[in-house]
Each structure stands twice: as C-alpha cells, then as structure tokens.
Amino acid sequence: MLLKEVFHLNPNEMMFKVHETLLKFSISDFAIIIGLNCAEYPSFCNEDGIPKQLPFGSSWLCSKYFPGKSSIYRGDLYDFLDQNQVKDDTDAIKLVLIFIVDYILLSKKDNKLVDKYLWHMVDSLDMFGSFPWGRKSFFLTLEYLKKALKGKQSDSQQDVIYYKLFGFPTAFQIWIYECFISLPKTVISYHGPKIPRICSWSKAFKSNFFSLNEKALPVRNLVPTERECKDLLSCIPEFTGVSSVHKKRPFSEEELKSDSVQLNVSADLYHFLEPFFFSFFLFKP
C-alpha cells in the first residue's frame, strides 16, 4: 500500500491511489479502527502530548521495582513482566498499562528507554486512563508510515530488503482490510461489524495478501456509521463529517439489534484492554 502513496497537502493525513480511487488515511479513520481516545491533548501537555512539567527524579513505581535505576529500557520492562509476579494488584495494573502504551501503542525498538513521563503519569490512574493515547499513537504511526520507504534496510543473509514500522501499524493494516470491499477468507477472517472495527478481523493464516489479484478487488474509503459520526464530531477536532462523495454505510442487522454497539473515541484506556488486547497480543507463550 505504501508504494501507492500520492502527494497530499495535509501533513496530518496520507493519500493512496488504488484502481483510480483515492483512499485517505486520517486520524478519524484511526479512531474508528482502534476505538481509543483521539481528542486534543490536555492543557498540561505540549503539542507532542508530553507533560510540560514533571516531578524531579524517578517515580515511586520505578524506584520500587527497578531500584537504583533512573532509566528503564523497554526490553527490561518486558522481561520483568514476563519473569516476575507483582503481588500488589494496583502496581501490576500500572506496570501493564505502561507496557501497553509504550510497547504496543507507541512501539519503538527494544533498546529504547521507556519514556519517563509514563512512569509519572501512571501515578494517577484516572489521568492515565483518560489521556488521548489514540491521538499520540496515530501521529507516531503516521510519522513512520511516511518515512518507511526512505529508510529501507537490507538483510544479506536472507537476500531481502525490508523496512520497520513503529507506533501502532496494526491499525493501518486493519484500515486496508476495511478499504477492500471483499477479501477472500483465506487471507483474512471477518467476524461481522464490531466496535471498534479492529475487533472484526483476524488473520486466516492460509494465504497472504500479496498472492491476490489486486485488480479484481474493488476499494472504497472507510465511511463511518451515523453512530460513529456522532462520536467523531464531538471528540476529534479534525473530523468535519462525511464527504458528500461518500455514501453513508447503512446499519447492519447486527448493529440495529445491539444497544451496546457504539464507538466511544473518548473512552478511557481500560475499555481498550478487554475487547482487543487479549485477542491480538499475548504477553507469554
């Protein structure tokens, strides 16, 4: 898909041309896919979503479980959670929340440090849970999507050229699935309309996307339902409504029957855990 990118004036979006159709990937699409808070950053943060002022020194949580260390590498946090049992339930929740945000939503290389502000922010679970991690994850993902092909690397042993994506590229992958109207079940399994939409898909493991005849697959832009539009308009400043060139997707029978189906892009981080995290990621083998 990245090879199909075309020039676009808006730096906060990406545009791709597939079969003469222009597909736009924006923060609104990201919010519909992932279902996390994508609202504006709170006033105590700068434009990059980092608190303007932090307490001096290490947080008490970091000092308690990593004594004598002022900085913790991401790989060290993973190893700690994998090899240790945290007896204090509240501490366990805080450590896992830091892991989810830093290791999954804001993924980077293992040799990178866990951002210090995460240790201090998690001291307040209410503040940490209601923070717009969706917005922060989107812009990091977008940054690496835009420069992926410029930083290609080669593996002489396997004779391949590859690039690395950070942030949360899984959301971009699901967005691609949503844009292709009919994908064979051998490539991806669709489980019906779910919110957030990332919960609707799982890999089939029978064949890969590259084996398909792409020209035979029609595409369309992701169009939010009326319920999704309502939440996007209230929570995302960049969202201005559905373009007149797109038709609204009608409700399915499942959506009409379900009172619980609703996108809440202002939902806190905890709502993200149950429907998505344990379905797509496993901490331990």
Task: Give 37's contacts (C-beta < 8 A, 6+ positions apart).
Answer: 130, 131, 132, 133, 134, 135, 235, 265, 266, 267, 268, 269
What percent of the chain has pLDDT above 90?
A: 28
Gap between the Cα atoms of 114 and 102, Å rounded: 7
Q: Are 221 and 24 in contact (CB under 8 A)?
A: yes
Residue 216: predicted pLDDT: 67
Q: Which amino acid is at 132?
A: P
Lookup result for tokens 């006033």 = 43
Query: What DSSP line would sit under 96-125, residue for residue?
Result: HHHHIIIIIITB--TTSBPPHHHHHHTTSH
Nearest 5°: phi and psi at 190? -105, 130
196: preceding bond cis by omega (within 30 degrees) = yes
Residue 154: predicted pLDDT: 59
Residue 238: predicted pLDDT: 65
Gap between the Cα atoms of 183 and 190, Å rounded: 9
Residue 136: predicted pLDDT: 95
| Other CB atoms within 10 A of residue 110 CB | 13
Q: Which residue has the higher pLDDT, 11 or 57?
A: 11
Lowest mean pLDDT among 122-136, 152-166, 238-252: 238-252
Gap between the Cα atoms of 2 and 123, Å rounded: 39
Q: What is the pLDDT of residues 221-267, one digit of tens each?
A: 988 888 787 777 666 766 655 543 333 344 344 433 443 333 333 34
| CA neighbor of 23 nearest in space, from 44, 43, 2 | 2
pLDDT of 270 strictly over 60: no
Mean pLDDT score of the chain, rounded to an integer? 77
pLDDT of 11 strictly over 90: yes
Q: What is the pLDDT of residues 42-88, one digit of tens each?
A: 999 999 999 988 776 778 899 999 998 878 998 889 899 888 878 89
Q: What is the pLDDT of residues 96-111, one digit of tens each?
A: 899 999 988 998 876 6
Residue 65: predicted pLDDT: 93
Q: Which residue has the higher pLDDT, 267 or 13?
A: 13
pLDDT band, very low/low/confident/very high, at 143 (cuts 50, 70, 90):
very high
Gap between the Cα atoms of 98 and 125, Å rounded: 11
Longest CA pairwise span in the chain (Å)? 59
